[in-house]
Structure 1
């Protein structure tokens, strides 16, 4: 009947605990539920989905599942509504034994996306265990001579419940001889003792039946009982007595098994067999004690049976019983306390309390990197630990509080030299001998934008052909940055500058990602030969850093210009008309065809060829000068009208050419048209009457300059070339630095064309020349000046030709100078306009280079 009522009470208690005790709290991502033990299968612990904020549809879609940290699955998850359900009955005593707190950790795993929650289920104890004695019947032999007040130790009951449900007290059935005394142990347990209150009389009552009942503190109360049979014995009325009630000893934890640590001794005042004593452990000595120690039953010697460990158990307490062989046997007890002495048998432990975080390379000294904890399971000096670190890194250890250290920076960091450090930590205790432990900690250094991009070359030279297609790649510059990430990401750009008042950015385009430079349009060598680009490489750091490089772009000439005919002038028509006397001899200068090429170098070398002629045997064209001369004397049989087609070609690849047609009229009795020329000059002078005053002033100024210049020239020639027919002027006296060049002035007055030609270098080269031509046929101009094709000045042009022309000495032939002076003198008053042009444009150029 009591069992039935107890079950009903237990059911209502469990129901109450389930309804009001299944509470949960959530701290961050953690849930906690409280349930009583022994809850039925299928009982609901709590709604996981609801408490985590998930809808019913998300339970299956996101695949909620429960996992237990323990091996056995006590709970399951209802996928329909998200409730946590008891899968198997939880026995708190099996799960946590007699621990004050019993918490079963669970893991709630949610997939798609993956999430993790921790759930703790606290199992509350219910009074489901009654106190229980190991044996149902205990026999106690008591001599009749035992005096009143004697105490007999009884077997304590065991109750696996905890807290208020644990064992509370004992009761003894009512009798006339014995009373119950409860002795409190140091661990808080109550040990029942049977106290003899009145002397026994075996003859009156040889056996006493007692009932010992253990009662717990639960509600409802549970209890357990054992029967005690007291047999009253005659005679042996003295129990053995130990020399000490308490033995205290110290044992080194490293003592070997079999080592004798204590000898106990008891004395029995009886005689004979009643005084013979056997030693043993107390009746209720735990199995742990019996595993570590042994006792010799005859001698009372206590020895170590198993290796001791100070870190596991620092001390042991147990009872030793001395029992005589009398009838009835009597026994005495003593207490033994064994203190285990620590030995330095545990190495220090290093724990990284806070994992090292990456450190910026500009972090100041003293920046904390990691928090480190050290400990040693030993005690005393053996447990005193010192932590040190290696010295080949910019870090140091700074003590914070007991056994805790902070790893801080001690010097300036440089990620480009050392992107990471493997720091060895060494912990040593103060034992003898000392034990060591080492551990490595890796510290990564974060990059700071402290390195500017560096170009592979500070100056780039690029050669590009003119007329290249727009969009062609010119060059590719490259810069590197020792930093990483965004700090090493480089953007290229062209700095704003101008070439011929035009921004360089209009010439080229640069790919900001890879540094490739492209043309925006084609180049014309004749307009621009070289320009430079300032390229900037800028990283993406904050603040960003940059560096510059110079790209020199040299335009290479291409043969893209055909020779242009200077004389005969285009304004005279497509056909040039020349006259010559029939009395002309072989070598007579008929005319001179002059052309220039806007290209340079080999592309500007011009050659002349007679392509077609009415009579090819009569005329020839000089290959280099373009002079048209008679090959033989003109005869009476020759036609009076001769048409010549002269082809002019350059030396480029591919060859560019042009042609000019010359009609030669052979006349009888024809003389040089000096009077006609003067007449036409006079007519032109009349037309220019309005500027006569200006011309006279110019003439006077230039004439004075000319006389001074010729005087200086003649003095230098006289000093530098005594005994020689040539006038030599060394280059050290001029602006041109190479002395191995010829500068020649050539005067030609043969035939109707009067011209003066200045040649730089070899006479065979037509690349650089100044020529003036006087033509009696021209109705528009008395003078033509052929300038160099190069856009640079004359000195620069000679420097360019330095590598291609043969070395020689600069010289002016005295005869040529004299011829030049005669030409100028004879024509000075014939045409004022012509003289001014000659003096200003031609002679000044000659003398400047001298």
Structure 2
């Protein structure tokens, strides 16, 4: 027999011996979970649970110990016998609901092998009926007849009108209460024994049930017995309390009519009764009518009317307090009256119409004065107009005009126009040149009232033609840089009837900007010149409206005038430079750009036309670009970048120019900051084959076995090292799509078997392999590292 065979046999004997020793030292409980129920402590009838209410059984020669949780645990265990005993009182009522269970672990440890086992212990606590229900005897229940049906009047739960204060210190089923109504309350109420709910099921009405409710309040005695589940009914407490039903103001007052109206003459005497209002209330005990009065009346209503109550608070008379005047005061009064009881109100609308009495004579609204009549233009026409007004209404205010006595030359129509009956033809007209007319205006009232005035008409020669303003156009233009005194327009004025004409500016949109002067080129008042008298700014005002007036100057006739409206347009000059926003700063990431817009300038010019159109040009770039250039669109002002831009700061100058003559320019500075792009780091992923050699020397002296195991381990290490020298691991960072899966921003290993392992691509040893629908080619050797993946680089681990 060889040495190797002897060693193997010895190992088998030692292993069998160890297995037998372990089997003989195994420790276990008779059951893994122990459950027991104990009553809560309730002295003196229910003393503390007796010792030994539970005994745990484990392998002999073991000791018992209570484990977690042990804090505030009212139990202990005998370490030798496994007997569980109570160490403190247990109060079920003080325990949190749902946690009436003690759960803990008990371990037993073998004295010889030091082996141990655990068992779960569950001790349920059962409640005991310890206490009687407790009640509050001071309850008094008050309701009113206005309490709506369905109202919860009394309950042991929150939310009722009155709370039935009852409690039982027992928790759980022994604390569940039952209520019994011991008195009859009639069909107005219902009682629920579960929570002691007393509910009003039918509304109470003192007015419809006078035989049952005959006083302001009605008292009902109430008795309710309160028991818990296990208490003898004779020992249950009874609560006594009164239920008071109080009459309330549950009916609103009502007017006999919703609205009242009256019509009276304005001449009615002060103190006269105009109308009577009546109000009633259905309540029999409380809430009767207290008063009827005005509801927020306007001041004129309180001054005009007063209230009298000859029949008590349920009726009121509206009486006239001051004289009425249809012509000076309201013709219709409308106001609200309110009827009040102690809680509710009702309103009614009162309308009083005032009728007019013819108590005002007509009055002339314009004074009468002499009127000049032109004999060669007035022929059977109106020479004057008069007007009368009357403060009365209807026919009392209709006016009739007359000339008294009637005149053969003049007449008056019913609109108040004084007319010429025949043409006035001087000098053939031989009647008096001055005529006094008595004009009367009277109303159509009954009796009729009138007024008279005297009108004097003087016949004389008048100006027959108004002056003429000769301007060929209604609009002209002027440059906005015109200086003061610059002529705008020369025109002429003429009047065939007057010796002279005065020309002036009646109004203009910007006062003082233009004036009229009889200056050159003619220096004659009939050829005036409109000149500039102030500064012009088209951007402030583009047009001006001028109203010219020509007034005739005559010593023998009434002056006449003519007006003319003229529009003056202010023409633009290039007097505004382009304006742009403040200088800008732009930040970019370095790299290659192909016609990239980096900024759009926003500029404007207050002028118009070509003076407003802008052009952009790039005048300076510092420092200049080496492989690229900045460009700007001449029309849009878009700043673009083309080519490769290195990291740094570039200062650009853009010139903005309008297209006026001469052009005006503005330079804008732009700062471009180029920052370097952060390059992605090449990820690395260390991998190795972990080797843990666990050598357990079972029997000292088996040198040959140890030598063989050591030799095998040495061979494995040599094989692993040689493999690592033969095949290298390559890693690539980034993302590669393979077989429908993309590895994003995760290190990807390339090793050498020609298959995919997790996220690894195994090198193909200078070969080509097809994976899924993507053909992946990896070519590398010991000297070089290359890959056909676009944009990827393999690095050696």
Structure with max Cα Rg: 1
Larger helix share, 1 or 2: 1
TM range (shorter): under 0.3
TM-score, normalised to structure 2's length?
A: 0.27
